[in-house]
Amino acid sequence: MNKKRLLLILVLAAALGAVLIRNLGPKEEVRIEVQVEPARMEAITQVVTASGKIRPETQVKVSADVGGYIRKLTVKDGDRVEQGQLLVEVDQEVYRARVAETLAAEKTAQARLKLSQASLRRVQGEERRIRGLYRKDLTSAANLERSQADLAMAQAEVEASEGQLAQARAMLSKSRKDLDKCTILAPMSGVVIEQFKERGERVSGGDFREDIILTLADLSSMEVEVEVGERDVVIISPQDEVEIEVDAYPNQVFSGQVKEIGNAGITRNQWTESEVTNFRIVVQVGKTEAVLRPQMSATVRIRTDHRDQTLTIPIQSVTLRRPSEIKPPAGKDDQKSEKPTVEDPIEVVFAMDAGKVQARPVKTGLSSDTRIEILEGLEEGEKIISGPYRALAKDLKQGSLVTTEKKKGSKGRSRRSKHGR
């Protein structure tokens, strides 16, 4: 019994000793698994990417200038029309009656003018006769004054009649124009892309309210309107080349160029933490043979600059660190003398050397969707940490021990490169 107890005590002591040796002995530092890529010389194109909607370059909303019921509608949504073609005819009955009414008013004004002109001629003759008699002292001054007053009244009546005739003619012209407006012709050649009214419906017309009947567009000339951030708009120039990908045509890339750059920013969520200011960019689409349709979703890639040969690394390799985070650890005396300061983060990359990383401050240049140009701080062929994101953003420090991950299939790498940015 004593031997068994002694054996049990020895086993327990050996196990306890092993635990103590393992815990108190020197620890091996954990290595961070990373992906590595070499810095290499290659061509790079700086691209600004944004999304928007396809729209026609020329689009016209057709509306009625006069009110009434639609008696004729010769086109429907999707029809192609030529300039000058009859589109809509509004009921003309009321407007024909107005033309007849104003025409009668014009004739009446003409008749009144003739009467006043005849009366003026009579009064003028009477005034001349009395003035001659007055010179011969054959009539009184009162008669002369009366004839002169009658002459002035006759002249005023002629002027009033002329004004009434001009007013009647203006009303007649307006009523005729209103009658003409009942017939709406196509202002341009194009395609009906929207139809808002049907035959028999009423249109309000007028200058203060737009009552749209249909919309015409030239589908042979399209453009894309997008919004870009204030940091991107400054590197975009008119005539920059653009690649356009339309969701409806996933395997086709359309060409284009920058047509307009907005001067005024569009601020969203103003006075909040999520406030953002964008600028409007209009991209002219090249010849499309009318395959695009308004409101299709599109993504544009604006080529703002290009280098034929320059040093590049994966764009995710560039991260931010404070200058104190990439310096060697300070001694005790230095730590006591140091005062906390506010540091602005700088751009760094982590280069791998013999299983350790060195944080290198770098100066960057152009950037594409996946690569970024390095102007200073690296040389061609140096191995650069390119992932994973957590290691680059948080874990890696000056002198960290690392080990490279096992290579995954190309499919996995392509997914990271597409969504990693």
- Its CATH class, for the domain covering 49-57+220-306, is mainly beta
DSSP annotation string for 209-258: S--EEEEEE-TTSEEEEEEEEHHHHTT--TT-EEEEEETT-TT-EEEEEE
Q: How does residue 406 score in pLDDT terms, banded at 50, 70 and 90?
A: low
Rounded CA separation 102/166 (Å): 12
- Residues 6 or more apart whose Cβ sits within 8 Å of residue 298: 51, 52, 53, 54, 224, 244, 245, 246, 247
pLDDT in tens, 87-145: 999 999 999 999 999 999 999 999 999 999 999 999 999 999 999 998 988 888 999 89
pLDDT (0 to 100) of residue 272: 84
Contact indicator for 294, 55 with CB cutoff of 8 Å: yes
Specify the 3-state DSSP secondary structure of 142: helix
Average pLDDT, the chain: 86
Contact indicator for 235, 263 with CB cutoff of 8 Å: no
What per-residue string of b and e applies to 341-361 under the rule 16 or more CB within 10 Å gives b?
eeeeeebbbbbbeeeebebbe
Rounded CA separation 381/42 (Å): 12
Q: How does residue 327 score in pLDDT terms, banded at 50, 70 and 90?
A: confident
Cα angle 96, 98, 100; round to 5: 70
- Its CATH class, for the domain covering 32-44+308-333+342-419, is mainly beta
Kindly tell me if the per-residue pLDDT of 418 is higher than 90: no
pLDDT in tens, 233-257: 999 999 999 999 999 999 899 999 9
59-91+182-217 folds as: OB fold (Dihydrolipoamide Acetyltransferase, E2P) (2.40.50)
Rounded CA separation 316/171 (Å): 74
Structure tokens at 176: 């005729």
Specify the 3-state DSSP secondary structure of 117: helix
- Residues 6 or more apart whose Cβ sits within 8 Å of residue 347: 318, 319, 320, 361, 362, 363, 364
Residue 113 φ then ψ, to 5°: -65, -40
Helices 141-181 & 93-135 angle (0-180, nearest 10):
160
Of 405 and 129, the structure prediction assigns the larger pLDDT to 129
pLDDT (0 to 100) of residue 412: 41
Rounded CA separation 63/24 (Å): 88
Of 339 and 42, the structure prediction assigns the larger pLDDT to 42
Enumerate the domain spans of the chain: 32-44+308-333+342-419, 49-57+220-306, 59-91+182-217, 93-179
pLDDT (0 to 100) of residue 413: 43
pLDDT (0 to 100) of residue 419: 37
pLDDT (0 to 100) of residue 416: 39
pLDDT (0 to 100) of residue 164: 95
Q: How does residue 20 score in pLDDT terms, banded at 50, 70 and 90?
A: low
Specify the 3-state DSSP secondary structure of 276: strand
Rounded CA separation 156/140 (Å): 25
pLDDT (0 to 100) of residue 193: 92
Paired strand residues for 253: 245
pLDDT (0 to 100) of residue 19: 60
pLDDT (0 to 100) of residue 55: 93
pLDDT in tens, 63-85: 999 999 999 999 999 999 999 99
Rounded CA separation 380/310 (Å): 10
pLDDT average, residue stretch 158-162: 95
Kindly tell me if the per-residue pLDDT of 319 is higher than 80: yes
What per-residue string of b and e applies to 275-286 under the rule 16 or more CB within 10 Å gives b?
eeebbbbbbbbe
Kindly tell me if the per-residue pLDDT of 37 is higher than 80: yes
pTM of full prediction above 0.75: no
